[in-house]
Amino acid sequence: MLVEGRHFLPGAEPRALGHKALAVNLSDLAAMGAAPKWVLLAIGLPEADEHWLKAFAGGFFALAARYGVDLVGGDTTRAPQITISVTAMGEVPASVALYRAGARPGDDIWVSGELGGAALGLAHPEIAEAAKRLHEPEPRLELGERLRGMANAAIDVSDGLAGDLGHILERSRVGALVEYPLIPRNSFFRKINDPDLERDCVLSGGDDYELIFTAATARRGDLEGLSRELGLALTRIGSIQAGDARLTVLDGKGKPMKFKPAFDHFRK
Amino acid sequence: MLVEGRHFLPGAEPRALGHKALAVNLSDLAAMGAAPKWVLLAIGLPEADEHWLKAFAGGFFALAARYGVDLVGGDTTRAPQITISVTAMGEVPASVALYRAGARPGDDIWVSGELGGAALGLAHPEIAEAAKRLHEPEPRLELGERLRGMANAAIDVSDGLAGDLGHILERSRVGALVEYPLIPRNSFFRKINDPDLERDCVLSGGDDYELIFTAATARRGDLEGLSRELGLALTRIGSIQAGDARLTVLDGKGKPMKFKPAFDHFRK
Answer yes or no: is B257 within a domain: no
Average pLDDT (A23-48) is: 96
In this complex, the residue of A6, A76, A81 whose CB is nearest that of residue B77 is A6
Q: B81 and B208 in one domain? A: no
Nearest residue on chain A to B74, judged by CA atoms? A87
pLDDT at residue A224 greater than cutoff 60: yes
Q: B228 CB near a chain A CB, below 8 Å? A: no
| The domain boundary residue, chosen from B53, B79, B94 | B94
What band does A179 get if pLDDT is binned at 50, 70 and 90? very high
Residue B115's closest CA among B250, B211, B191? B211
Name every chain A residue with its beta carbon within 8 A of the beta carbon of B87: 40, 42, 73, 87
Beta strands in chain A (DSSP E): 2-3, 35-45, 70-78, 83-91, 108-112, 153-156, 175-179, 211-215, 234-241, 247-250
Q: Residues A151, A232: one domain?
A: yes
Asked if residue A223 and residue A165 are part of one domain, the reply reads yes
CB A94, CB A31: distance < 8 Å = no
Return d(Cα B86, Cα B266) in angstroms, integer: 21
Whole-angstrom distance, CA of residue A105 vs CA of residue A1? 35
Residue in A73, A85, A266 closest to B1 by CB: A85
Residue B260 within any structural domain of the chain: no
Report the pLDDT averaged over residues B130-158: 96
Among the listed residues B139, B21, B159, B36, the one whose alpha carbon sits nearest the alpha carbon of residue B86: B21
> Does some domain include residue B265?
no
CATH number at residue B89: 3.30.1330.10
Q: Is A154 in the same domain as A245?
A: yes
Residues 71-100 (A) with a CB less than 8 A from some CB of B? 73, 75-81, 83, 85, 87
Residue A268 pLDDT: 45
Question: Is residue A6 domain-shared with residue A65, that is, in the same domain?
Answer: yes
pLDDT digits over B249-268, tens only?
999 999 999 998 765 555 54
Mean pLDDT value of segment A31-50: 96
Last residue of a domain, one of A94, A118, A135: A94
**b/e per residue B132-162 (b: at least 16 CB within 10 A):** ebbbbbbbbbebbbbbbebbbbbbbbbbbbb
Chain A CA closest to residue B76: A1
Q: Do the chains contact at B48 and A73, CB–CB below 8 Å?
A: no
Report the domain count for chain A: 2
pLDDT of residue B260: 86
Assess whether A61 and A127 both reside in one domain.
no
For the stretch B168-200, pLDDT in tens is: 999 999 999 999 999 999 889 998 999 999 999
- Average pLDDT of span A157-178: 97
A42 and A107 housed in the same domain: no
In a domain, A183, yes or no: yes
Pair (B234, B136) in one structural domain: yes
Q: Does the distance separating the beta carbons of B3 and A83 come in below 8 Å?
A: yes
| Contact at CB, A1 and B85, closer than 8 angstroms | yes
A40: chain B residues, CB-CB within 8 Å: 87
A10 touches chain B (CB under 8 A): no
Full domain range(s) for residue A50? 2-94
Is B264 within a domain? no
In a domain, B261, yes or no: no
Q: Mark whether A44 and A165 lie in a shared domain.
A: no
A255 domain-assigned: no
The span from the CA of A143 to the CA of B241, in Å, is: 55
A-B C-beta contacts closer than 8 Å: 72
Looking at residue A118, its pLDDT comes to 94
Is there a single domain that holds both residue B85 and residue B13?
A: yes
